[in-house]
Amino acid sequence: MNSRLPIAAVYAEQGHIVLRRARQILKNEAEAQDVLHEVFTSLLQKPQQFSGKSSVTTFLYSVTTNLCLNRLRDGANRARLLEGQGTARWEEASGDRLVHVRELLARLPEDLAQVTVYYYVDEMTHDEIADQLGCSRRQVGNLLERAVAACQRQERERAGHA
Handedness of CA 98, 39, 132, 76 (dihedral sign): negative
68 and 112 co-located in one domain = no
In a domain, 88, yes or no: no
In a domain, 114, yes or no: yes
42, 35 in Cβ contact below 8 A?
A: no
> By residue range, what is the domain housing residue 133?
108-162
In a domain, 136, yes or no: yes
Domain count, the chain: 2
38-95 pLDDT, tens per residue? 999 888 888 888 888 888 998 999 899 989 888 887 755 445 544 544 444 434 445 5
93-114 pLDDT, tens per residue? 455 666 777 788 888 888 898 8
110, 71 in Cβ contact below 8 A?
A: no
Closest CA to 27 of 93, 80, 97: 93
Single pTM value for the model = 0.59
77, 87 in Cβ contact below 8 A?
A: no
Residue 31: exposed, middle, or buried by beta-carbon count in 10 A (0-12, 13-18, 19+)?
buried
> For residue 89, what pLDDT is reported?
44
